[in-house]
Structure 1
Amino acid sequence: MHLVNLFGPPAVGKMSVGRELAARTPYRLFSNHATIEPLLEVFDWEMPSFGVLKTEFRRRVIEEAVASDIPGLIFTYVWALELPEDAQTVESLAGPVVEAGGKVDCVELYADLSTRLSREGTPERLAAKPSKRDTEWARANVVDWNERHVLSTSSETPFPLRFPHTVVDNTHLSAAETAEEIIARLGLPTNPDGRLLS
């Protein structure tokens, strides 16, 4: 199996780009909010149980995807690059793929802060992420994460893992254009008849 770890700061477009990738390839999308939103129904973000279950659910989904006939999985993630524990989490989640002899690519999306703030509160985002429906709070959270964490690689903060790493600046690209760029750069397989799958 091929795991594409699609990472970047909040509101950079990971889910939208992931959906476009899944529509163009035989890969499936596993959005980080697929685990976040159900758990927030029971636990607060700061509660230890939330973090434990979020990580366990993600790893189990990836393990079962490896054991199935799914050719590829697109996993989205917000990565605080200055935190060694975040890198360890990414490495651990990729573990089942590596152990099975699969391939892992890390694709970093970049967009400037003003662009990301303009993307917060879109109908697609609000529909998929109930925790972001307070758009004033969500925009403040984007700024807060930007101030507290290193969310993009640079010469000062190089990519910390051994997996292949690709950066795509999607500041001026649509989600569809970004997906096409990723497909071209990674050489991803596309749907045999060229159809976009909904």
Structure 2
Amino acid sequence: MTLLFLYGPPAAGKLTVAREVAGLTGFSVFHNHLTIELAREVLPEPSTVRSELISTLRLATFEAASKAGVSLIFTFVYAAGDDDAFVAQIVEIVERYGGRICFVQLLASRETLLTRLSEPSRLGHSKIKRPEILESILATKDLLSPVIYGNHLTLDTDEQNPQTAARRIVEHFGLDLTPEAVLRDMYDAFNRRDVEGVLSSMAPDVEWPNDANEGWIQGHEAVRAYWTHRLGVIDSRVEPLSFEFEPDGHLVVRVRQVMRDLQGNLLSEDRVIHAYAFVKDKVRRMDIR
């Protein structure tokens, strides 16, 4: 089990980045407003009891996920000093069950934070929307200091979009991609005519169909030679249309494939079925049906 602890001041982009990471990894998103909104339904007025309920709900969720081996992305507004004991409790729970916790701090300039308060993405939850409230919190709480634990990454969301931030997180902590994310990356690389990018999605002993003799080639070197030659004579584009897992574990992708010569003349346009077998987050074998 991996807990990705995504923290930063309000409007730093935590939930947006969390959803991007979830799309790449398949992790469940446990954002901090889920427990806040539940506690407010039970106890509408602010109180110590309500704060304790929120913490209890969160810790119980971490324990249940740790027991079940379910990886989570948790978003949190961390205030240095105030929240250290709570963070320590989370670390203890995750490590007690053999999991790992990865900390990611998201930062942005004060001007950016204030601007983002009015974005439509903040309307669906009980998030801070008034600039004066955010200004007060920033003035009275230390929301910019990092947690004291290792396995940590800090990203400035002024400098990169959510998609880039998510990729940085996945790469930094070595998180496995979902099979669908692996294939989307592979098709994107293929359409860029980036052979090395295609190979990065494949296991070292990958088996790949050889259209030339209806046989098979195996391994990175053989696949590299095959696609280097093929892309030297054709311009092929593949658009994935649907993804579906079969009972035996194969991921079946229905694609639209367009082939042109290097002068741009259309050679063929077909709907094709690709079937993939995986080892971890790498393609082990590809079949054309």
Instruction: Tell me if TM exceeds 0.5.
Output: yes
Give the equivalent residue in structure 2 for 1:55.
Answer: 55
Instruction: Go from structure 1 to structure 2 and tell me whether the alpha carbon gap of 1:44 and 1:139 turns closer, same or farther (over 3 Å shift).
Output: farther
CA distance in 2, matches of 1:79, 1:45: 22
* 1:155-181: CA deviation from partner (whole Å, max 9, x where unpaired): xxxx45333221011113222221111
User: Are 1:110 and 2:107 matched, yes or no?
Assistant: yes
Partner residue in 2 for 1:130? 126
**Structure 2 CA distance for aligned equivalents of residues 176 and 152 of structure 1:** 23
Residue in 1 that maps onto 2:148: 161
Question: What letter matches 2:149 in structure 1?
Answer: R
Number of aligned residue pairs: 184
Map of 2:279 onto structure 1: none
Give the distance between the partners of 1:45 and 1:178, measured in 2 at CA: 36
Q: Taking every aligned residue pair, what percent have the same amino acid on both sides?
A: 29
Distance in 2 between residues matched to 1:87 and 1:125, nearest whole Å: 27
Q: Give, in whole Å, the separation in 1 of the partners of 2:78 and 2:118.
A: 21
**Is the alpha carbon distance of 1:19 and 1:150 closer, same or farther for their aligned partners in structure 2, counting shifts above 3 Å?**
same
CA deviation map 1:30-89 (0-9, x unaligned): 10001011222333563012111000000111111112142x2111111111x2x41110
Q: 2:86 aligns with which of 59, 84, 89?
A: 89
Matches within 5 A, 1:163-182: 163-182=150-169
User: Partner of 1:156 in structure 2?
Assistant: none
Greater relative CO, 1 or 2 (CA 8 Å, sep 6+): 1
Is residue 119 of structure 1 aligned with residue 106 of structure 2? no
- Preserved contact between residue 37 and residue 131 of structure 1 (Cα < 8 Å): no
Look up the equivalent residue of 2:96 and give its one-letter code.
Answer: E
- Give 5+ residue unaligned stretches, structure 1: 154-158
Q: Which residue of 1 aligns with 2:20?
A: 20
Match of 1:142 among 108, 131, 134: 134
Q: CA RMSD in A?
A: 1.9
Q: Which residue of 2 aligns with 1:38?
A: 38
1: CA distance, partners of 2:37 / 2:64: 21
8 Å CA contact retained: 1:2, 1:102: yes
Gaps spanning 5+ residues in structure 2: where?
A: 185-242, 244-289
